[in-house]
Structure 1
């Protein structure tokens, strides 16, 4: 999959390219575990990485969302929940009173105490047999990502509850899901699907000291080599040596995950004339992962 001809023509004509963000998210940003951001630019079929940022608070994340466009961001958290789960729980999943289905679902989640949300999800799981506990979105099944209702290991449901309301409040556009500012485009990303295309199931990151192994360091170097060679989504990444070194030396993998999210955002940005490469129809309460 490569840069489409129309996007290449626009860039060769000298039109300004949108900035590209890749965001590795956390539901509890703090100095020791910040939200990480890769900032780049799509030029002539290549993603040029311009810098890496860390956001230690939600206020800093909200300031990122408010940056003037044009930009396209890939955000590593789920944007929605499985429709069958929402219908079972009788939570909002249809448009009403002039508000779209996604916005209604997001506002409902935002107002719900975390313990109440977890209790509802646990009730769903407890009623189902082993091996089929969780409800899945269509995109999660294809990408191999964690069910968006999962509240442990990893707690992606908390990330959804923390992230999606901020996207809605910022007024960004979420293609196929929610109309907002067309110059600020948010897409769901999932770095794991790109990492597995190079590493299989080999691990490249760990948040624990015991997990900082030479094997994981080697895996990060393999991913960086693949990025620079254009082996991921057919999009070569211009990665300055200093930034590559920082990504290689980060045992948590958060910086590298942000770069992988930026690749997914850039791939989608190159297809902005065809709904950012997304399927023709997306269930708005479920969302879709860019590049899947």
Structure 2
């Protein structure tokens, strides 16, 4: 079983976490269904119900090593996650702001190696987007759901639920460049963004991207994804396609699902970057 998850650190009925469940056969990714989770507890339960999965999750799994070492936090990933989860959001914001304030203009944030390859926001950002809080909320949910983390945990500890860090924006840019395809503000959910969502889906379905798999949707599924102006369903699909690429890499003999051998076991890596 494969999944892609569009994740929010504070899901709600208005903006739930979205899980796209699917499978891969002969380089074709078939979407089975979407599952909408209006709370972190619902997200955990959804992941627990499936005994085996490989998932791409749109949230960071680590922070820049430079930041962690400067703050004097544990550099073993499991110990770091336990420490980070023990902190309140105000404490995280204060620590990160202090780090940034001590740095020169133009270099306020520390970056993970993978962020530079993927073009993703620094995982220490606490606003626009608040990915630091997504890490704070999300990784403990995955751990409680029984997930294991290639590249961050030793291979002999991996189980039947495998979590990979995904980034839908990376694959979306490959399909439509810098054109915006979503907005949480209804006033900005315009025809240009709708056409961009259609273009992304078409490229995923026809395999016009670098990941070597094609997406299969029903007409009803396609219409539903196009109609979602917030782009949450499409982001979950993009994560699903990245997870499918990872499964294909593993099937071709890559023990760590396509992650580079040089991945920093504290920072982690975005799959397919």
Once superposed, which parts of structure 1, at least 4 consecutive aligned residues long, lie more than 3 Å away? Answer: none
Structure 2 segments unaligned to the other structure (5+ residues): none
The Cα offsets for residues 38-73 of structure 1, whole Å up to 9 and x where unpaired, read as 111001111011111110111111112323433100
Q: Deviations over 1:185-241 (max 9, x none)?
A: 000000000000111111000000221111001100000100100123121011111
Q: Which whole-Å CA distance do the structure 2 matches of 1:182 and 1:109 have between them?
A: 23
Which structure 1 residue ranges, 5 or more long, are not aligned? 1-18, 94-100
Is residue 2:220 matched to residue 1:242? yes
SS of 1:270's partner is helix
Query: Of the candidates 15, 21, 40, which is equivalent to residue 39 of structure 1?
Result: 21
State the secondary structure of the residue aligned to 1:110.
helix
What is residue 82 of structure 2 aligned with on the other side? 107
2:103 aligned partner: 128
Q: Secondary structure at the match of 1:198?
A: helix
1:290 aligns with 2:271: yes
Distance between the aligned counterparts of 2:185 and 2:67, measured in 1?
33
Distance 1:171 1:39 in 2: 17
Structure-1 separation of matches of 2:52 and 2:11: 26
Cα deviation digits, residues 242-288 of structure 1 (max 9, x gap)? 11100000000000000000000010011223110110132111000
Aligned residue among 241, 245, 267 for 1:263: 241
TM-score normalised by structure 1 residue count: 0.89
- Equivalence for 2:119: 144
Give the 3-state SS of the residue equivalent to 1:150 in structure 2: coil
Matched, 1:168 2:146: no
- The count of aligned residue pairs is 267
What is the DSSP-based 3-state SS (H/G/I as helix, E as strand, rest coil) of the residue aligned with 1:259?
helix
2-side partners of 1:164 and 1:59: how far apart?
Answer: 13
- Counterpart of 1:218 (choices 192, 195, 205) is 195
| Whole-angstrom distance in 2 between the partners of 1:145 and 1:289 | 9
Query: What is the TM-score when the length of structure 2 is the normalising length?
Result: 0.95
When structure 1 is superposed on structure 2, of 277-286 and 144-153 the one drifting more is 277-286
Q: Residue 57 in 1 paired to residue 39 in 2?
A: yes
